[in-house]
Each structure stands twice: as C-alpha cells, then as structure tokens.
Amino acid sequence: MGLNANDISESMYDIAEPRASAMIESLRAFGYNVQTAIADLIDNSISAGARNVWLSFCWDGANSYISIRDDGHGMTEAQLISAMRLGSQSPLEEREADDLGRFGLGLKTASFSQCRRLTVASRSENYAVAIRRWDLDYVNQVDEWRLLRLPAEGSIQKLNDLETMPCGTIVLWECLDRIVGEVKTNDQKAQDDFLETVEIIENHLAMVFHRFLEKRDRLKLWINQHSVKPWNPFLPDAQATQILPLEPLTFNGETVRVQPYVLPHHSKIDLDTYNNAAGLNGWNAQQGFYVYRNERLLVAGDWLSLGGYRKDEHCKLARIQVDLPNSMDSDWNIDIKKSRARPPASLKEALKRIARLTRHRATDIYRHRGKIIVLKNAEKYVFPWDKKLRRGKVFYAVNQEHPLVQEVLNLPNTCQPVIRALLRLLEETVPVQQIWIDNSTEPEKQPQPFDGTSSEQVLEVMVEIYRALRKSGMTQEQARSRILTMEPFQHFETLAKTLSDQLILGNLA
Ligand SMILES: Nc1ncnc2c1ncn2[C@@H]1O[C@H](COP(=O)(O)OP(=O)(O)O)[C@@H](O)[C@H]1O
Ligand SMILES: [Mg+2]
C-alpha cells in the first residue's frame, strides 16, 4: 500500500537530510553511562567471535583515553566504513542467532556518549589494518558526516597492537569530555575519580557478561592487564541456595526460560560471600528478574512492573533468571542501550505467578532463617513468640503454649500478678522498629540465638524446658525430641541428646 518510488518525480520532493552538526548532540544523549557504553562495544567484540577483550584506561589529564581491543574476526576497510555509518544495519533485518547487536547504532552512539573522538582500527584476516575516525568537532565545523581516513596526530601508537595480530579490532576513545573533561594530569582528585570509574566499569562488566566469563575458553576480559572475574547473581554454588523448578514459557513458537532462585539467608554463607552477593546496588535493589538475551544480561534485578510488586526488604533473596533469544527483541521492547526489557502482554500472567511464588519462598527464608525442619509427626514447631493481630494491627505476644511459659504460669498464685505484668510489659514494648532497622542495615551483625554462648548456658535453658515437659507426662525420649522442634534448639541436637533425668539430678546436686 506504500508509495511506489517510481511514481514520484524529482519535482515532487526536497531532500531534507539530517544536519550533522544538529544531530551530534542528540546522538550523544541516548542515556548511556560509561559502563553501559563499554558493555555495548564488548557486545560487538563477542559478536565478532572474540575470545579476548583488552580494555586500557590511560590517565593523562585531558588527554586520557580508553581503548577496547579484541581478537575477533575484524573488518575489511569497506566493512569498517559501513560499520562507522550511523544506522549500519536495520533493526528489522534478521540477525545471526548469537548476534548481540541490534540497531546498527551501538558503536557510534555508545562512543559519542562518552567521547568526542572515536577512532576504529580493524583487521580482517589477510587484509591490511584499516582505520577510520569520527571527530565530532570536525563534523560540527563542516556540518557533514565526513569520516576521516587517518587517526589524529599522536593516536597511531595507541593502535599499534593490531599490527601483531592476524585479525581483530581496536576502538579508541579520545577527548573524553564526559568522563574526564578539561583537567590537568596532576589533578589528584580527577585521577581518583577516573580510577573509581574503572572500578565501576569492571563491576558492571563482571555482572553483564558473567555467563561468558564463567565458561572456559569462551571469553576473557582484561582491564589494564588483569582479568575480570565473573559475578553470578544467583550463587548457584552455595549449598543453601534454593533452585526452584525451571519454567519454560512459550511465546510465538519460541521458548523463554525462567529459572527462579532463592538465595541463602546470610547466616548460611560467610560474610565475604554475603557482601559480594549484594551486588552493585545492594541486596534490596538487586532482587527481581534478571533478563538475559543470548546470555548477555540486560536487566539486573527488576520486578518488571508486574503485579505491582515492589522491591521489599523481605523479598530481597529472590532473583529470577529469564533467558530470551535475540529474535524476541521487539516483543520485549529492548532499547538501544540494551538496559531495558518489558515482557509482552501474553507472558505477564505466567511471570507474575512465578514472581509471586519466588517472593513467597524468599520471604520464608528471610523470616525463618531458612530452616527447613522435617517434622516426623504433626507436632507443631514451637516458637517462644507469636505474631498476632489486634484490631487489625500486628503485635508480638509471648507464646502462652510454650512449655516454659506454661511452667511459669503454673507457679503459685501469689507470683501470678507480677509474672503477667512482666510478660505484658515485654509484649507491649517489643522494639520492632529498631530491630527492623538494625536487621536491614546490618543483617550480618544480628546474631543467631545463643551465638557465642557456652554450651553450659544453653543447657541451663534447655534443662528447664526438659523439666517442664517431663512434668507434663512426657517420657525422657519424648521430651528430648520435642525440644528439637523448638526454636532455636533444633540447632543444638547434640546438646539436646545429652538431656536425661540423670543429668538433671546431677545438675541439682
Ligand atoms: N569489534 C568489532 N569487530 C568486528 N566488527 C565490528 C566490531 N564492532 C562493530 N562491528 C561491525 O559494525 C557493525 C555496527 O556495529 P554497531 O554500531 O554496534 O551496531 P550493531 O551492533 O547493532 O550492528 C556491526 O554489526 C559489526 O558488523
Ligand atoms: Mg553493537
């Protein structure tokens, strides 16, 4: 139904090409930051079959530069010219299944977002090194997209490494006005900021490309000579990580794989592992879906506006891996920066259900410290505290059914008023707010029950419960196993097994 180009004669149109000088600033404003921009270049390297990508960050004040070199298949001169063109390939064209590119813009927009001079040198096997350069100041002056054939003065040695490689590509960013600006080389503060930026980039890449970095011989990333270690959001190797069932969802004849994880309660892993697993933005921010396209991470922890779910403290252990093929880009609304994805309407219900389930499971782990007690019979697990509702509000009451509390409440009548007054006062003043704040700001500082307490002291408490249970008519064996279903004595199995009438008598003696 569209126009037929043959029906339109020259008198019927004007050419209205975008003005180069006016386009520059909008092309620079795609919303990349330095780490997402560099990740986009590494996508290109991976698509070009690179096994190694070397990043160099060189500090030299206003002359600082960044280079990204890969050992991929490289480009011939003609391919390089086409690659440097804005919109080198239409997003509507079908891509190789393992291609990480999309809009034919990344190389240019990602680079322009950070620097004013982009030089690319590339070498395809059996070809000479080809070089092209975009210099935004020059484009601005001449108001034409003139792609320069020579590197800037003094840049050539930064591209030298390619000479010794059979094939590969170097992307060189100079005039880093967005990262460094007009500063002197001896500006210590600016240099520190630059180094900090390098660290941010490293952490980001460790996350975005972790699945590539984890596989042997798949991809190595080097930053100023040291290799980047992968950061896996799911702690799959930690024993206490719960891996829920994988759910394959079908969409337009293709499969989206959804793999929910519930990470371990902090008491189940060591402090370093716990702190490291928090990730770039901390535990709370890193919960939710992790959307991967061809194993490259696009979205790192987001509930994707499903079901009105928010990032709640008690759900922070929930992380769900979602794997998309690159043929679903437009259905998932993948943006140019590859940092956004929105599920298609027909998958929302299923994803919401999985989110609900995982959040639920994560909340259990968060609240009960991940204890999974296998009860042999229908006996209830006994906590000293009860959560109750009073006029629609939550409050915490001492569990009056607890054997030890029962024992106290069975003391002679004369003692009752003071005991009841004490219990009531404690219940009314549970420092919920303070506990919540402490636990969420420094969870690792919240001890386990009887943490660092001697066995004797734990036993003192156990003995009183044992005594109460025996009094209520239980056998020695029953009393011992009952204690093991009481918070927190399930963690003191060996100690509980030493309980006996004999021991109590010994204690009394
Ligand atoms: N490091 C590289 N090695 C080989 N070819 C590259 C490299 N970077 C870019 N290219 C080529 O340039 C093209 C344009 O890249 P880009 O602007 O990032 O768009 P896209 O990745 O969406 O295709 C790529 O499709 C690829 O053919
Ligand atoms: Mg690209």
Ligand 1, atom 26: closest residue by C-alpha: 83
- Spans of the chain, pLDDT less than 70: 1, 88-92, 94-102, 368-380, 443-445, 506-509
Token look-up 């707010």 returns 433
User: Where does residue 347 rank: exposed (0-12), middle (13-18), buried (19+ CB within 10 A)?
Assistant: buried
Rounded to two decimals, what is the model's pTM?
Answer: 0.75
For residues 186 and 266, membership in a common domain is answered with no
**Which atom of ligand 1 is the closest one to the Cα of 89?**
23
Contacts of 52 (CB under 8 A, 6+ apart): 70, 71, 219, 220, 221, 222
Detail the DSSP E strand segments found in 242-293.
242-243, 247-251, 254-262, 288-293
Nearest ligand atom owner, CA of 40: 2
d(Cα 74, Cα 267) in Å, to the nearest integer? 49
Number of domains in the chain: 3
- pLDDT at position 443: 64
- pLDDT at position 464: 93
For residues 216 and 284, membership in a common domain is answered with no
For residues 257 and 207, membership in a common domain is answered with no
Q: How far is the CA of 180 from the centre of ligand 1 (A)?
A: 26
- pLDDT at position 503: 84
For residues 304 and 156, membership in a common domain is answered with no
* pLDDT tens, position by position, 392-433: 788 888 988 888 998 898 888 899 999 999 999 999 999 988
* pLDDT tens, position by position, 99-148: 666 677 889 999 999 999 999 999 999 999 999 999 999 999 999 999 99
88 lines ligand 1 (CB under 6 A): yes
Query: What is the domain extent for residue 315?
Result: 242-368
Q: How far is the CA of 39 from the centre of ligand 2 (A)?
A: 9
83 lines ligand 1 (CB under 6 A): yes
**Which atom of ligand 1 is the closest one to the Cα of 106?**
18
168 lines ligand 1 (CB under 6 A): no
The answer to the question of residue 418 being in a domain is no
111 lines ligand 1 (CB under 6 A): no
For residues 295 and 360, membership in a common domain is answered with yes
Whether the Cβ atoms of residue 469 and residue 403 lie closer than 8 Å to each other: yes
From 338, 368, 398, the end of a domain falls on 368
For residues 360 and 259, membership in a common domain is answered with yes
- The domain that holds 132 is classified in CATH as 3.30.565
From 310, 342, 368, the end of a domain falls on 368
476 lines ligand 1 (CB under 6 A): no
Whether the Cβ atoms of residue 369 and residue 64 lie closer than 8 Å to each other: no
For residues 223 and 105, membership in a common domain is answered with yes
For residues 349 and 399, membership in a common domain is answered with no
- pLDDT at position 502: 86
Whether the Cβ atoms of residue 425 and residue 418 lie closer than 8 Å to each other: no
- pLDDT at position 341: 85
The answer to the question of residue 419 being in a domain is no
Indicate the helix (H) or strand (E) that contains 54: strand 52-58
Among 290, 310, 66, 26, which Cα is nearest to 170's?
A: 66
52 lines ligand 1 (CB under 6 A): no
User: Where does residue 124 rank: exposed (0-12), middle (13-18), buried (19+ CB within 10 A)?
Assistant: buried
For residues 277 and 401, membership in a common domain is answered with no
369 lines ligand 1 (CB under 6 A): no
- The domain that holds 313 is classified in CATH as 3.30.230
User: Where does residue 120 rank: exposed (0-12), middle (13-18), buried (19+ CB within 10 A)?
Assistant: buried
Ligand 1, atom 24: closest residue by C-alpha: 83
d(Cα 367, Cα 446) in Å, to the nearest integer? 13
For residues 137 and 98, membership in a common domain is answered with yes
Ligand 1, atom 7: closest residue by C-alpha: 44
- pLDDT at position 375: 43
Q: How far is the CA of 122 from the centre of ligand 1 (A)?
A: 11
Q: How far is the CA of 125 from the centre of ligand 1 (A)?
A: 17
**Pocket mutation for ligand 1, best pick of 38, 88, 92, 169 (most atoms within 8 Å of C-beta):** 88
d(Cα 499, Cα 36) in Å, to the nearest integer? 60
